[in-house]
Structure 1
Amino acid sequence: MKLNIVPARTGITWVKLGIQTFFKQPLALTGLFFLYMAAATLASMIPFLGVVIALALVPAATLGLMAATQVAIGGRFPMPAVLISAFRAGRQRARAMLVLGFLYAAACLVVVSIVPLFFDVPVTAENALAPEMQGVMLAILVLYMPISVLFWHAPALVHWHGVPPVKSLFFSAVVCFRNAGAYTLFGLAWMVVLVIMGVVVSLAAGLIGGPKVAAALLMPVALLMAAMFSTSLYFTFRDSFEEPLVITTDDTPTPGETP
């Protein structure tokens, strides 16, 4: 498996491709993202292990949304079954994806369990918006960044390249660091897009009806932006690694292949 080095400006290209591809099948891609969020929310309601299960689903769902992007590239409509692509590539890779999922859940739970120990603010639903919680949330965000780097490409490497879970974390981190310029511009470009959308929503709310309209628009706009972002993830993987040699699902092409 070969890791590709790309120019820093490629990060902006990834954002453009993600947005363009999203608008080829906006309803389908938004619906799939909503379906994943609904499944994760339901899973989190399971007593005792719900949060662990919901977090463990993240890598598989990330892969499913990337597979949906593959389908949308050619203008085709991605069906809901594409979300479980990670579990349709054979028992070995499905097991590897589950291992990856529980590694992700463990890493996230360690962060959210350790950080509050260094602050005097009790972490409760009532305190979620309290000013004192800003330090806690910032610390969690900083500690989550290495987790994000490790798991950024890991699901796709496990699924399309057959890389073992632990090795996939290593290769994901290496390619992110070697293409740090591109990934930095990718993040900054998305921040700009989010700011622009925030301004648009604020202006629209001011013209139509004020704060209540803004609150009503916030959730659908957030869902739309999250779906766009998840669409752009596929392009970061496609350009960072050589194309895999095998096709692992019946209904989605390998990265780089024309649907």
Structure 2
Amino acid sequence: MKLNIVPARTGITWVKLGIQTFFKQPLALAGLFFLYMAAATLASLIPFVGVVLALAIVPAATLGLMAATLEATKGRFPMPAILVSAFRAGQQRGRAMLVLGFLYAAACLLIVSIVPLFADAPVSRESALSPEMQGVMLMVMVLYLPVSVLFWHAPALVHWHGVTPVKSLFFSAVVCFRNAGAYVVFGITWMAVLLLAGVVITLLAGLLASPEAAAALIMPAALLMAAMFSTSIYFTFRDSFEASPPEGSTPQGDTP
């Protein structure tokens, strides 16, 4: 497996490819993302272990959405079963993905446990925009950043390259740091896209002269943007690592 170094401007390309690929199969990719969100929501409702399960399925779902993106790039319609691609590559890799999932859940729960030790802000609708709550949100973002770096490419490395969970975290972090410029540009570009989408929604609400219409547009628009973002993740992996995994490591039809 070879790590690739890409120029910073590649971050913009990743965003463009993600959006363009999404619109090749918008119904399928949006539907798969909504299906994942519904599964996570239902899992979180299970008593005692629900939150852990909802977090643990994130790496597998990320891989499933990446596999769906790969199908869309080939002009194929990704079917719902592709969301469980992580568990169709053999028992060993399925077990490795489960380990990765519970490591991710542990990392997220650790953040949730740490934040209250340094911040004491009541959670309510009125306090959402308070300086205290904004400080808590900033702290969560800062603490989550290294977790995101570690797990960004880990699911794809486990599934497509047969890398062990711990090594996948290491390689993911290494390639993110080596291509830091591209990932920073990627993040800034997506922030600009989200800001533009917000402006468009605001203008539409102004034309309709209806706050209710604006509120009705915000959630679907946010979910669609999140689905486009998840589509762009595949291209960050494709360009950061050698395109072809070792021969025989992946079932036919799943090779990136």
- State the TM-score, normalized to the length of structure 2: 0.96
Cα pair distance change 1:24/1:110, threshold 3 Å: same
Question: CA shift at 1:116, angstroms?
Answer: 1.1
Aligned to 1:37: 37
Question: CA shift at 1:58, angstroms?
Answer: 0.3
Aligned to 1:236: 236
Amino acid at match of 1:6: V
Cα pair distance change 1:128/1:114, threshold 3 Å: farther
Cα deviation 1:142-164 (Å, max 9, x = unaligned): 00000000000000000000000
Amino acid at match of 1:155: P
Aligned to 1:3: 3
Amino acid at match of 1:16: K
User: Is the Cα contact below 8 Å between 2:161 and 2:249 reproduced in 1?
Assistant: no
- Counterparts of residues 79-90 of structure 1 (less than 5 Å): 79-90=79-90
Question: CA shift at 1:247, angstroms?
Answer: 5.5
Cα pair distance change 1:94/1:128, threshold 3 Å: farther
Unaligned ranges ≥5, structure 1: none
Cα pair distance change 1:43/1:127, threshold 3 Å: farther
Question: CA shift at 1:248, angstroms?
Answer: 2.1
- SS of 1:2 mapped into structure 2: coil
Aligned to 1:136: 136
* Percent of paired sites with the same residue: 77
- State the TM-score, normalized to the length of structure 1: 0.95
- Counterparts of residues 154-165 of structure 1 (less than 5 Å): 154-165=154-165
Aligned to 1:145: 145
Asked if 1:248 is matched to 2:247, the reply is: no
Aligned to 2:48: 48
- Counterparts of residues 96-107 of structure 1 (less than 5 Å): 96-107=96-107
Question: CA shift at 1:120, angstroms?
Answer: 2.5
Amino acid at match of 1:99: V
Cα deviation 1:3-54 (Å, max 9, x = unaligned): 0001111110000110110000001000000000000000000000100000
**Count of residue pairs the alignment pairs up:** 253
Amino acid at match of 2:220: P
| RMSD, aligned CA | 1.3
Amino acid at match of 2:37: M
Asked if 1:205 is matched to 2:205, the reply is: yes
Unaligned ranges ≥5, structure 2: none
User: Is the Cα contact below 8 Å between 1:6 and 1:182 reproduced in 2?
Assistant: yes
Question: CA shift at 1:181, angstroms?
Answer: 0.6
Alpha-carbon separation, structure 2, partners of 1:92 and 1:107: 23
Cα pair distance change 1:191/1:126, threshold 3 Å: closer
Alpha-carbon separation, structure 1, partners of 2:127 and 2:162: 40
Alpha-carbon separation, structure 2, partners of 1:225 and 1:105: 24
Aligned to 1:23: 23
Amino acid at match of 1:104: Y
Question: CA shift at 1:209, angstroms?
Answer: 3.2
Alpha-carbon separation, structure 2, partners of 1:133 and 1:127: 10
Bigger Cα displacement from structure 2, 182-191 vs 111-120:
111-120
